[in-house]
């Protein structure tokens, strides 16, 4: 009989894992209160409570709730007056919204490669991509790592560029004791259902700049803001409706009460996994820099050396681990220069000119480290990190087992192919 569970062997673990989202009567009571109040949208008491609580949690002076993380990024660029023809540098390994937000304001997303040890944007690649048209950098704090903010901010100061932090995976991470989202000019968060702080859908924008806050508040609310009614402020900017509902805020107020404890547990478990996996041949955990004083984890990632796994593909390793642990393992995002969801040239609205059309073609960018990460990095979702610490031992046991017996699966696949 085969040793590996995927071929009929005994699994390392066949029980259950923490469910997501975690909720109780706190969410129910708050949502019921909103329904009964009749105030279901736009700056009600639940939204005000969450906006203030989360901005304080981040250590930012201002915060705003918006429709989703994609719109948060778009509004951030617009508030910074980035627009037609300007270039915005983004990592080639990220959810497609990080680049699409620049498309949607007629700017040019410039895709650059990543650091292999963190999967975050490579500062040297950023430096090499800067041109006279560059206006902003969007570092993404990806999966379970924080981008190298020291170097990114130094480059931005040198070239007078804006830094927008994409914190969609990082609600609670700290760099040198400061929460991400409070370090660049603007921080942008997703509150979508899979995120560690979620309301089903939603987004949040943080800043400590008064002028940017005024512009962001106006942009999210059809070009209006309260102080203009009294005759202050600039002329209304053209914008649309990017507001929030009270139901979303009610969920978030309850969810936020659990976030610090959950973040601490994920951080503890991710560091435990780093220690356990580091001793397995062909396995390399991602780098945690010394500047990271708290690590939130949307997912936990590690690299595999395929040669040490008997030539198995990353996809096959993920399936084998799933069978051992009854928990799904996946790869990382598809690199944006070949991503099925990032196809700027499928919309006529982006054909501003032949030159712009050519500039936004993602295939013009070379992203070798992104491609290598797609082939070599295994990803474990954040809910596994909410399990009791001994479960991390089972994860490491499963990884070691698959590595040790990978030749069984390789031989079976070779025999199956020969028989076909």
Q: Where in the chain is the domain with CATH 3.90.1150.10?
A: 5-20+259-334+371-419
Which stretch of DSSP H or E encloses residue 134? strand 134-137
pLDDT in the model for residue 413:
74
d(CA 54, CA 65): 10
25-258 CATH pick, 3.30.70.1250, 3.60.60.10, 3.90.1170.50, 3.40.640.10: 3.40.640.10
pLDDT average, residue stretch 116-144: 98
Count CB neighbours of 319 within 10 A. 17
Positions of CATH 3.40.640.10 in the chain? 25-258
Give the integer Cα–Cα distance in Å for 290 and 243: 38
How much is the pLDDT for 417?
A: 63
Buried b (16+ CB within 10 A) or exposed e, 404-415: ebbebbeeeeee
Sheet holding 108-112, edge to edge: 62-66, 203-207, 186-190, 162-166, 134-137, 87-91, 108-112
Q: What is the DSSP string of 188-207?
A: EEE--TTSSS-SSS-EEEEE
- Model pLDDT for residues 312-343, shown as the tens digit of each residue: 999 999 999 999 999 999 999 999 999 999 99
pLDDT-based confidence at 419, cuts 50/70/90?
A: low
In this structure, are residues 111 and 92 in contact, taking their beta carbons and an 8 Å threshold?
A: yes
Tokens of 279: 């001793």
How much is the average pLDDT of 257-270? 97
Q: Can you name the residues that pair with 283 across neighbouring β-strands?
A: 304
pLDDT number for residue 227: 45
In this predicted structure, the answer to whether residue 1 has a pLDDT above a threshold of 70 is: no
pLDDT value at residue 231: 46
* Gap between the Cα atoms of 333 and 228, Å rounded: 43
The predicted pLDDT at position 74 comes to: 98
pLDDT digits (tens, 9 = 90+) for 154-179: 999 999 999 999 999 999 999 999 99
Q: What is the pLDDT of residue 412?
A: 74
**5-20+259-334+371-419: CATH architecture:** Alpha-Beta Complex (3.90)
Confidence of residue 416 (pLDDT cuts 50, 70, 90): low
**Average per-residue pLDDT for the chain:** 94
Per-residue pLDDT reduced to its tens digit, 40-88: 998 899 999 999 999 999 999 999 999 999 999 999 999 999 999 999 9
**Chain segment 335-380, per-residue pLDDT in tens:** 999 999 999 999 999 999 999 999 999 999 999 999 999 999 999 9
Mean pLDDT, range 192-200, rounded to an integer? 96
**Model pLDDT, residue 230:** 42
Helix, strand, coil share of the chain (percent; to 5) = 45, 15, 40
CA distance 102 to 90: 9
pLDDT (mean) for 395-406: 97
Q: Is 139 a residue whose pLDDT tops 70? A: yes
| Whole-number pLDDT of residue 233 | 52
């Amino acid at each position: 009989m085969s040793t590996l569970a995927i071929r009929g062997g005994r699994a390392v673990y066949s029980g259950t894992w923490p469910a997501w989202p975690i909720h109780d009567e706190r969410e129910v009571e708050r949502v019921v209160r909103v329904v009964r109040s009749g105030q279901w949208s736009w700056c009600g008491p639940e939204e005000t409570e969450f906006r203030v609580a989360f901005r304080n949690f981040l250590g930012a002076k201002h915060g705003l709730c918006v429709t989703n993380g994609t719109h948060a990024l778009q509004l951030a660029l617009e508030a910074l007056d980035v627009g037609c023809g300007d270039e915005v540098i983004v990592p080639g390994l990220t959810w497609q919204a990080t680049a699409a937000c620049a498309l949607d304001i007629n700017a040019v997303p410039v895709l650059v490669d990543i650091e292999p040890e963190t999967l975050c944007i490579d500062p040297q690649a950023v430096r090499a991509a800067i041109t006279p048209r560059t206006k902003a950098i969007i570092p993404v704090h990806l999966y379970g790592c924080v981008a190298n903010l020291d170097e990114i901010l130094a480059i931005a100061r040198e070239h007078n560029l804006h830094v927008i932090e994409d914190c969609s995976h990082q609600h609670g991470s700290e760099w040198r004791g400061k929460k991400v989202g409070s370090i660049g000019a603007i921080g942008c968060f997703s509150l979508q259902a899979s995120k560690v702080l979620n309301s089903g859908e939603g987004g949040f924008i943080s800043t400590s700049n008064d002028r940017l806050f005024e512009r962001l508040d106006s942009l999210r609310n059809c070009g209006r803001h309260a102080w203009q009614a009294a005759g202050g402020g600039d002329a209304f900017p053209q914008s649309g409706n990017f507001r929030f509902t009270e139901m979303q805020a009610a969920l978030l107020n309850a969810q936020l009460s659990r976030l610090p404890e959950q973040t601490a547990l994920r951080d503890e478990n991710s560091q435990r996994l780093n220690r356990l996996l580091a001793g397995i041949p062909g396995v390399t955990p991602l780098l945690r820099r010394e500047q990271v004083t708290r690590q939130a984890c949307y997912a936990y990632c590690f690299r595999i050396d395929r040669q040490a796994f008997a030539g198995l593909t990353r996809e096959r390793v993920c399936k084998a681990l799933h069978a051992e642990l009854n928990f799904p393992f996946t790869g990382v995002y598809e690199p944006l220069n070949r991503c099925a969801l990032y196809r700027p040239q499928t919309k006529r609205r982006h054909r501003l000119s032949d030159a712009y059309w050519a500039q936004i073609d993602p295939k013009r960018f070379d992203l070798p480290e992104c491609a290598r990460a797609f082939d070599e990095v295994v990803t474990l979702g954040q809910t596994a990190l909410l399990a009791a610490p001994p479960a991390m031992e089972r994860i490491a046991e499963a990884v070691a087992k698959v590595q040790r017996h990978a030749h069984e699966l390789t031989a079976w696949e070779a025999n199956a192919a020969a028989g076909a």
